[in-house]
Amino acid sequence: MAKKSNLPVKAEVIKKFEPVQSLSIAGMFENWFLDYASYVILERAVPHIIDGLKPVQRRILYSMFEMEDGRFNKVANVIGHTMKYHPHGDASIGDALVQLGQKDLLIDTQGNWGNIYTGDSAAAPRYIEARLSKFALDVLFNPKLTDWGLSYDGRNREPIELPSKFPLLLAQGVEGIAVGLACKILPHNFNELIEGCIESLRGHATDLLPDFPTGGMADFTKYNQGMRGGKVTVRAKIQKKDKKTLVIDEVPFSTTTSSLIESILAANDKGKIRIKKVEDNTAAKVEIVIHLHPDSSEDLDKTIDALYAFTDCEVSISPNACVITGNKPAFLNVNEILKHSAAGTMQLLKRELELAQDELEEDWHFSSLEKIFIEKRIYRDIEECKTWEAVLEAIDKGLRPYRKKLKRDYTQEDIIRLTEIKIKRISKYDSFKSDEHIKSVEAKLKEIAHDLANLKQFTISWYRNIQKKYGKGRERKTQITYLEAINATEVVVLNQKLYVNREEGFAGWGLKKDEFVCECSDIDDIIAFRKDGTCVVTKIAEKSYVGKDVIHIAVFRKGDEKTTYNMVYQDGPKGFAMAKRFRVEGVTRDKDYDLTKGTKGSKVLYFSVMPDERGECVVVTLKPKPHVRNLLFDFEFNSLAIKNRSAIGNILTRHSVHKVVRKKGPLSEMPPPPPLPSTSTASTSSATSPATGNSKVPPALNPTKGKTPPTNGKGQIDLF
């Protein structure tokens, strides 16, 4: 009978299943996550600086090299062959293979491989074919110079990196997202890369700029050599077909005709642009036809600007040149990558020359041994030998007198190789042909020695030969230009109307029963000035609160350096009347700005808007007061300097003002400013109010005539 435990049932169960050793989940997560992050960075997303390839691309190309026989192979077969090197399935291999094929550099394609202009996908792998291009065979493979490693299952060997003699990383471009970092290198022009490599070898500085397969126009002012923080602005090429038709024949990189048309239709639905219809006639070349409305009053230039402002006809691309070097990620600019590639190519060519030199020297050595072995009839010395050791000894004895004629001493392997010469070859041996062969080998050795002595020039000649063979038809497609920024508010279609309720302080396009202000768009900002001397800038909406007692409201243009505001305000209930001229260029939305000194009870006595810096003349009427004889005087706003909105202005008068009205102005066609509400202490008049009584003002009281008015000791002019 089992001994009964004294522990409670639950405690006994817990003790039975208690782990022998506790593990830290945090530590396990940290180690596993670091392993995963390192694997994604090094083995999946980021290309290697030596060959410019991601692991999946390298495995595809090496598999195609193993299958290479000059004929096309079904892509399905290439994918299947690559799966013994790549552990992530056929879908990732197929996608990477199609992307390589669409770049038209390393792979010759046959069948429907999709369309980079329209975004159409390729046909199924069983229907399309591929093979390595001659360019790839020339610049990418050399098993003798390749470093090898085991595949993921240990059954095969695969290249750690391919001995690339061309900056494929910059030619093809690459994009990848890893853990904690990303890579985006833009494609560059084939011929410009070769010229850049040559200039780098000559010790000159290079300045590479991208070239996109889809063409278009690009501004590389902020390219920053492809490093983080840079930006490239790319635009479609838009042609004018007639007065109501536009044609897009080149699209920006990273877009397709489908996505571009969708963005155009979306902008049209939102009222940003006005178009009748869009036709996509793209086939071998891009052709998107945009038809405008027959009754449209917009000119074509403004419509083109609107397309750039509101659609994918203009896109911004942010490069981020990140590569694997020294088995870790590094951020390098494109010129440094090009320099590294040019130096690497020169070293690869040097190693190829040295290998060829070793092979030729070995050829010369054995050809000379064979000549001595046959012409001196040393082979006859082995006829009487009965053992293998005796054969080797006999040949060694026969060759000894001729050692000085060789560049190196012969070895036992050389002697064994001599014994493998067939009798038929000995009987048909031609001494003249042997001498000619040895002379040709010596000539090649001399040529290689010259190339090694002038390695830089040899590398430049190699680049020139590659350019001659493969550079035709690879001219630059993207036009390099400077693109001016387009202000969206200036080109947008005016699809709304601005209304205002001045007393209640509401404005927007939904107040159709209130006062109409102007035509506008739904992306505009509006600026509102109030009677208390404050202003605010806010986004236009159907109905928004801008503050009560609005004296002026309009569409606001950020950075406007022309529009000038003239204002007279009273500083508090008993303060002086101040005059100022100012502009409002940059503000923060929905923030109230005080245009006065900030004294409580300040109010605006006169306000007007001028489209430029030309001023105006106003008539100031003072309140009757003992000892004040002249109650009227003129004031020219041109006497004030134009300052920013925070300037407090100059003293207009120390006496109480009854009203201020415009006398004259250079812009009679300007719409009058809205009248200010009347008060018990002061009043204002619109720009069309008559300047009554001005003829009685003595010339001495006009501050714009005669002597300069005195100051009050603080740099402010006391005008009365």
pLDDT, tens digit, 9 for 90 and up, residues 576-624? 999 999 999 888 888 999 999 989 999 999 999 998 887 789 999 888 8
Pick the residue with more confidence: 707 or 268?
Answer: 268
Residue 484's pLDDT is 81
Given the DSSP bridges, would you call strands 617-622 and 657-664 parallel, antiparallel or unpaired? antiparallel
Give the type of residue at 117: Y
Q: Using an 8 Å Cβ cutoff, are 117 and 249 in contact?
A: no
**Strand extents, DSSP E, 543-656:** 544-545, 550-556, 564-570, 577-583, 593-594, 603-610, 617-622, 632-636, 642-644, 650-653
Q: Is the pLDDT of residue 431 over 90?
A: no
Structure tokens at 654: 């120390």
Walk me through the domains of the chain, giving residue ranges and CATH numbers. 26-201 (3.90.199.10), 232-317 (3.30.1360.40), 557-701 (no CATH)
DSSP state of 460: H
Residue 28's pLDDT is 66
Residues 532-563, buried b or exposed e (16+ Cβ, 10 A)?
A: bbbbbbbebeeebebbebbbbbbbbbeeeeeb
- Provide the pLDDT confidence category of residue 23 given band limits of 50, 70 and 90: low
Average pLDDT over residues 255-267: 92
Q: Is the pLDDT of residue 719 over 80?
A: no
> What is the set of active-site residues?
127
DSSP state of 16: H
CA Rg value for the chain: 43
CA distance 465 to 669: 71
- 3-state SS, residue 669: coil
Phi-psi region of 516 (alpha: psi -120 to 50; beta: other; left: phi over 0): beta
Residue among 63, 108, 102 at smallest CA distance from 86: 63
CA distance 33 to 139: 38
CA distance 228 to 318: 7
CA distance 567 to 136: 74
Give the type of residue at 255: T
Residue among 492, 439, 110, 171 at smallest CA distance from 307: 492
* Sheet hosting strand 73-74, strand order edge to edge: 73-74, 129-132, 107-110
CA distance 698 to 708: 16
Give the type of residue at 648: I
Instruction: Count the neighbouring beta carbons within 10 Å of the beta carbon of residue 243.
Output: 10
- Provide the pLDDT confidence category of residue 24 given band limits of 50, 70 and 90: low
Instruction: Count the neighbouring beta carbons within 10 Å of the beta carbon of residue 339.
Output: 20
Q: Is the pLDDT of residue 712 over 70?
A: no
CA distance 646 to 53: 58
CA distance 144 to 121: 38
Q: Using an 8 Å Cβ cutoff, are 271 and 349 in contact?
A: no
Among 18-27, 52-61, 232-241, 286-295, the minimum mean pLDDT is found in 18-27
Average pLDDT over residues 288-305: 82
Give the phi and the psi of residue 460 in degrees, each rounded to 5. Answer: -65, -40
Among 16-25, 99-108, 240-249, the minimum mean pLDDT is found in 16-25
Among 89-98, 455-464, 669-678, the minimum mean pLDDT is found in 669-678
Among 40-44, 93-97, 519-523, 657-661, the minimum mean pLDDT is found in 40-44
Structure tokens at 658: 């009854």
CA distance 478 to 211: 5
CA distance 220 to 233: 7
Give the phi and the psi of residue 300 in degrees, each rounded to 5. Answer: -65, -35
DSSP state of 671: P
Residue 486's pLDDT is 76
Residue among 323, 242, 443, 416 at smallest CA distance from 46: 323
Q: Cα–Cα–Cα angle for 71, 72, 74, nearest 5°?
A: 140
Q: Is the pLDDT of residue 18 over 80?
A: no
Pick the residue with more confidence: 64 or 663?
Answer: 64
End-to-end CA distance of the chain, in Å?
121
* 349-369 confidence digits (pLDDT tens): 999 999 999 999 999 998 888
CA distance 687 to 661: 7
CA distance 500 to 510: 10
Average pLDDT over residues 213-239: 92
Q: Using an 8 Å Cβ cutoff, are 581 and 546 in contact?
A: no
Residue 43's pLDDT is 74
Residue among 355, 336, 338, 343 at smallest CA distance from 455: 343
Residue 455's pLDDT is 94
CA distance 537 to 591: 7
- 3-state SS, residue 412: helix
Calculate the average pLDDT of the chain.
84
Q: What percent of the chain has pLDDT over 70?
A: 87
Q: Is the pLDDT of residue 716 over 70?
A: no
Q: Is the pLDDT of residue 710 over 50?
A: no
Q: Is the pLDDT of residue 544 over 50?
A: yes
- Provide the pLDDT confidence category of residue 552 given band limits of 50, 70 and 90: very high
CA distance 52 to 603: 69
Distances (CA, A) of 29 to 33, 179, 363, 382: 6, 15, 59, 74
User: pTM for the full model?
Assistant: 0.73
Q: Is the pLDDT of residue 182 over 70?
A: yes
* 369-414 confidence digits (pLDDT tens): 888 888 888 888 888 888 898 888 888 888 888 888 888 888 888 8
Residue 314's pLDDT is 92
Distances (CA, A) of 64 to 130, 196, 371, 535, 666: 9, 30, 42, 70, 79
Pick the residue with more confidence: 163 or 41?
Answer: 163
Structure tokens at 171: 């030619």
- 3-state SS, residue 338: helix
* 633-686 confidence digits (pLDDT tens): 889 998 899 998 889 999 998 888 888 998 864 443 334 444 443 333 333 333
Distances (CA, A) of 588 to 158, 536, 558, 585: 60, 9, 10, 11
